[in-house]
Amino acid sequence: MWGDVEQAFTNGLHQVALAVAAFLPGILTMLLVLAFTVALAFLVRFALRRSLAGIDFDRRVHRWGLTSTGEWTPRNAPTAIAAHAGFWFVLLVGFLAGLDSLNTRVTDALAQRTLEWLPNLLGGAAIFAVGIVVARFLERTSLISAVNMQIQSARVISLGVKWLTVLFATALALQHVHVGGSILTVSFAVVFGGIVLALALAVGLGSREAVSRSWERQWHDEKAAAEEGRELHHM
Amino acid sequence: MLAEAEQLARGAEEPRRAELVIGLHGGADVGEAVRTGHRIGRQLGTAYPDRSAVVLLLSQAAPDPAALAAPDPREPPARVPLLPWSRPGQTSLEALLRATETFDAAACALVTADAGHGGTELVAPILADGFDFVCPCYGTHRFENVVTTGIVYPLTRALFGKRLREPIGKELAISRRLAAHLLGEGWHADPAHAGDRLWLVTAVLSREFQVCQSYLGGRPPRAAEPAADLAASLAHVLGLLFHEMRLHAAAWQRVKGSQPLKTYGEPALPDGDPGQPQIGPMLSAFQLGYQELGRLWGAVLPPQTLLALKRLTRVPEESFCVDDALWARIVYDFAVGYHLAVMDRALLLRLITPLYLGWAAGFAREVRETDPAGVEARIERLCRAFEVAKPYLISRWRWPDRFNP
């Protein structure tokens, strides 16, 4: 009896030892991959920092209107952010490759699903980033144009343009990564359409008289100023 | 007469010789242009009876040859022919320069279709005294041409050291030597902007060409510009000017002070009262600009200038005035900002409009009750301030990161 139990335990231990022995190369490979990935990530971060500094990336990003210089510290300068993003991206890909080397069903499936989803995620991030750049550019353009037209609510107009563009870019990015599905599209249509309708109603009905009075006054002022020679001839 | 005009129109493509070429441009009314062309032709024939000349009607599309006939058939045929000269895709200046080459002319002039003068005032300095470039001056009211007064004249004068009173305009005269340079080296140096007036002026001023100016009487009256159009026009002029600054940086950094140019004719004051422009709206535009665009100005202007602008927003209308030195530094800072492309250049050029309106408000208030001599003295003070501040421009241009007050 005792011999049978001992035999069973021995067999069990043997199987566990075999399983661990079969699993160990995978773990070793994973550790090797991770070590290599960490080294590669540091290398990528260093290379990104050097090359982006070489092309004066911070100034270019500022010129594109993505940030303003006053918001920068060494830690959140565009070059540092891009270098960190590159570092963590390489680490993530390396970690997934390491998981794949374990050769188990769960890790294989996890790695495969994540790697399949990664291009969509990158595409969504790119759409969002472009949306932010466009939003900042449109914000500046509309602000400057409105100020040059001497519209008192220039700031409100520019913020409206910015956030509508950000909203649009966010909806596009989420749609691209398949988050939210049709609910997102419907919600966006409702919110966007609602804002446009509200603005149309506000200008068309609520402010109709005020707008017409303002235009009339401006037209009369310009006409009277031109007639009386009260305008400078700039050009 | 009609047959003669048709013959001339057909023969216009053929190369021929003419010592003087006058190009007429602008104006929607072809009839007015033809009348001006015939008048200029008669005056040229009288002033230079021993020189061959031709008047060209510059246009993008070929005009009706019948329209070129003299308005009064009883008049004797003109010795100086009026020819249609349509060159699609070419600016008036380019068409004139190429016509000068075609006709192998000694001098050419660009004249507007509504010009009141005969064109001889423009070409005479080239033929008589050997000048290369004659720039017209007009008798203007103190509240006219304010962009030229406040920016273009002081800036070009400080940069190139020549006191050219009206660098931008629609009329000019050019010698054959200068035309050959412009079509050759000048054209290849900046083909994107070749043919524009500021391209020509900066190309001339940055080289050793003989330049003079000639008074042509009063400027034709024009309508006031809406605020949005002002921003676009200002951006266009400043964009060209700043672009040419980048191109000729090596030339203007060597220039110190300025020299007066030989000036023909006497300034004639235009008729009528210049009126009293409203300062309030311009001041409001400046204050709104500071309130909303102050953060964006910070990318172009140094903190010291921003502080001075902040103080200005609290100055009442009765005593409002932008200091000349401050204004010169603002214009120079925008030139440096454009050079370094601290932001999108099209946006940067539109940022200056409220600042300009603030300066214009102060200028209009100051010269409101001043006589013409006093206005000229005021403009001279402004130009001196631009010249004094030029080392600041050179320092910022050369060492933008090290020199940032």
Taking CB atoms and an 8 Å limit, are B278 and A230 in contact across chains?
yes
Query: Are A235 and B284 a contacting pair at CB < 8 A?
Result: no
Tokens representing B245 are 């600054």
Q: What pLDDT is recorded for position B357?
A: 92
The residue among B211, B235, B264 that closes a domain is B264
Residue B317, in any domain of the structure: yes
A93-131 tens-digit pLDDT? 888 888 777 777 777 777 777 777 788 888 888 898 888
Q: Is residue B289 part of a domain?
A: yes
The more confidently predicted of residues B157 and A206 is B157
Buried b (16+ CB within 10 A) or exposed e, B295-317: ebbebbbeeebbebbeebbeeee
Quick: pLDDT tens for B116-158.
Answer: 777 788 888 888 888 899 988 887 777 778 888 999 999 999 9
Residues B243 and B296 in one domain: no
Q: Region B229-238: what's the mean pLDDT?
A: 88
Task: Identify residue B59 by its one-letter amino acid code.
Answer: S
- Here the tokens at position A36 are 């290599």
Out of A62, A63, A225, name the one closest to residue B224 (CB).
A225
pLDDT the model gives residue B6 = 44
- Chosen domain end from B230, B264, B298: B264
Percent of chain B at pLDDT > 90 equals 21
* B219/B334 same-domain check: no
In a shared domain, residues B296 and B235: no
Residue at a domain's end among B205, B231, B264:
B264
A145 touches chain B (CB under 8 A): yes
Distance in angstroms (rounded) separating the CA atoms of residues A133 and B43: 60
Within this chain, do residues B214 and B327 fall inside the same structural domain, yes or no? no
Nearest to B348 by CA among B223, B260, B234: B234
pLDDT at res. B353: 92
ipTM associated with this complex: 0.77
Angle at the Cα of B90 (from B86 to B94), degrees rounded to 5? 100
**Nearest 5°: CA angle at B169, between B148 and B219?**
85
Copy the structure tokens of residue A142.
């509309």
Give one DSSP letter per residue of B48-81, joined into a string: -TTS-EEEEEEESSPPPGGGGS-S-TTSPPPSS-
Task: Establish, for the pair of chains A and B, how many residue pairs have beta carbons separated by less than 8 Å.
Answer: 114
Q: Which residue has the tokens 């001279």?
A: B380
Summarize pLDDT for B296-354 with one digit per residue, the tens. Answer: 898 889 988 999 999 998 888 888 888 999 999 999 999 999 998 888 888 899 999 99
Indicate if the pLDDT at residue B228 is higher than 70.
Answer: no
Tell me: do B306 and B196 sit in the same domain: no
Q: Is residue B405 part of a domain?
A: no
* Whole-number pLDDT of residue B3: 41
Residue B355, pLDDT above cutoff 90: yes
Structure tokens at B289: 């600009």
DSSP assignment of B179-192 equals: HHHIIIIIHHH-TT
Residues from chain A contacting residue B354 (CB–CB below 8 Å): 147-148
A interface test, pick of B347, B348, B351 with most A CB neighbours within 10 Å: B347
Average pLDDT over residues B263-289: 81
Q: What is the CATH number of the domain that holds B152?
A: 3.90.550.10
Q: How far is CA A168 from CA A127, A181, A185, A187, B286, in A?
A: 10, 15, 10, 11, 34
How many domains does one find in chain B? 2
**Residue at B249 is within a domain:** yes
Please report the pLDDT score of residue B93 as a whole number: 86
pLDDT digits (tens, 9 = 90+) for A160-184: 889 888 888 888 888 888 777 777 7
Q: Is the pLDDT of residue B384 over 90?
A: yes
B216/B115 same-domain check: yes
Which of A226, A229, A233 is the closest to B146 by Cβ? A233
- B77 CB-near residues (< 8 Å, 6+ apart): B1, B4, B70
Contact B134, B210 (CB under 8 A): no
Cβ burial of A160 (10 Å; 0-12, 13-18, 19+) is middle
Q: Which domain holds residue B350?
A: 280-398
Place of tokens 């006709």: B103
Query: Left, alpha or beta for B111 (phi > 0: left; psi -120 to 50: alpha)?
Result: beta
Nearest residue, CB atoms, A144 vs list B273, B299, B350:
B350
For residue A99, the Cα-to-chain-centroid distance in whole angstroms is: 27
Q: How far apart are CA B363 and CA B326, in angstroms?
A: 13
Per-residue pLDDT at B12:
47
Minimal Cα–Cα distance from B347 to chain A, Å?
A: 7
Say if residue B46 is in the same domain as residue B158: yes
